[in-house]
Structure 1
Amino acid sequence: MGNVIHSEVGLDTEEQASSENIKRSLVKTISWRAVGTITTVAISYIITGTMALAFSIGGIELVSKMVLYFFHERAWEKIKWGK
């Protein structure tokens, strides 16, 4: 009976319960980078006093760190330790 209940709620495999899909990783990547980039732009503006330079720094940081985070997140998904 336990298997029937787990099947009905979609928890019939351990992989489904512990795996994270690519769409979720993408949304997490974008939301985290938004927070990080706003912070970077604010700090850059405080240091440089120039909004254009602050947005240039933020733009470079946004793209580079988004790509790095995505691949970092996907690599960690393959590691079984701690799951």
Structure 2
Amino acid sequence: METRARTLVKSVLWTLLGLVVMIGVGFAFTGSLMVGGGMAAINAALGFVTYLLYERVWAGIRWGRHV
């Protein structure tokens, strides 16, 4: 089973990667770093929580693991 600390670190790094990508996408579509950054921040917050919960659920599922 994966530790909670590992899940948290993975979630933070994934969120930062997504934040950078979303800032670029938001800027490309709006032409504004403020609007693109705002969109990215909201997406990052929602994505962080969703990914953290997703990983914890999968950490408890034994299917597909070799023990």
TM-score (norm 1): 0.76
Q: Which residue of 2 aligns with 1:68?
A: 50
Larger Rg: 1
C-alpha distance in 2 between matches for 1:60 and 1:78: 28
Between the two structures, name the one with larger relative contact order (CA 8 Å, sep ≥ 6).
Answer: 2
Identity %: 28
C-alpha distance in 2 between matches for 1:69 and 1:79: 16
Q: Which runs of 5+ in 1 are unaligned?
A: 1-18
C-alpha distance in 2 between matches for 1:62 and 1:34: 8
Spell out the pairing of 1:1-83 with structure 2 (5 A cutoff). 19-83=1-65
Q: Which runs of 5+ in 2 are unaligned?
A: none
The alpha carbon displacement at 1:51 in A equals: 0.6
| Secondary structure of 1:52 counterpart | helix
What count of residue pairs does the alignment treat as equivalent? 65
Q: Considering only aligned residues, what root-mean-square deviation do their CA atoms show, in Å?
A: 0.5
Which segments of structure 1 move beyond 4 Å, counting only runs of 4 or more? none
